[in-house]
Amino acid sequence: MTETDLSTWLPIADAAARIGCSTRTVERLAAAKKLEARLRRQDGTPPVMVLSPESVAEVAAGRRREAAPFVLPSIPAGNGNGHGRPVEHIESTLDPSGIQRRPADDLFRQFVTLAIQALQSPPSPPVAEKVAESRLFLTIPEAAAVSGLSRAYLRRKCQEGWAGAFKDGSTWKLRKVDLETL
């Protein structure tokens, strides 16, 4: 049986760089036998795990799938001076003001209109504040959202034995009325 020349095999860090993942992932792939791994002995130091360049290239090719190219749909337009479109088509795209509109113009107008509406709409309150409005007892995150105090401060007060708090199982509950005294 011939011995394989391990001098060209890759250390874990190089294999991770070629695959595009962490060294821990390379170790997991080797343990799962998806990468061919061997121990390379060195004089005076412990053996080092090395990986077959062929198996590393195979795994790297499988992991790096090319993203589908982003392609805009083509609009059969001419060169801007009216050539390339029949006259009937140009006349059918005229609006009452006499301005020629392309489909892309309408999409852009819709986008701008929606963006303006989103900017002008009032912000909705956080969920914790909505929930907190209708309840007598609040959890620490809800109490922090309502009162503006930090979670750490509220947790410390609870652990110190503050009268407005009690422990319900593993969570602290704070009385909403007593929260205003802090």
CATH topology of domain 127-179: Molybdopterin biosynthesis moea protein, domain 2 (3.90.105)
Q: Give the tens place of pLDDT for each residue, 78-109.
A: 555 555 555 444 444 545 555 555 556 677 88
Query: Residue 127 has what pLDDT?
Result: 59
- This prediction has a pTM of 0.36
In the chain, domain spans: 7-63, 127-179
Residues of the chain below pLDDT 50: 1, 87-92, 94
Could you tell me how far CA 141 lies from the centroid of its own chain?
Answer: 24
Report the run of H or E that residue 131 belongs to, with start and end: helix 127-133
Query: Residue 32 has what pLDDT?
Result: 92
Q: Give the tens place of pLDDT for each residue, 37-52.
A: 998 888 888 888 999 9
Evaluate the CA torsion angle 138, 144, 148, 153 in order and state its sign.
positive
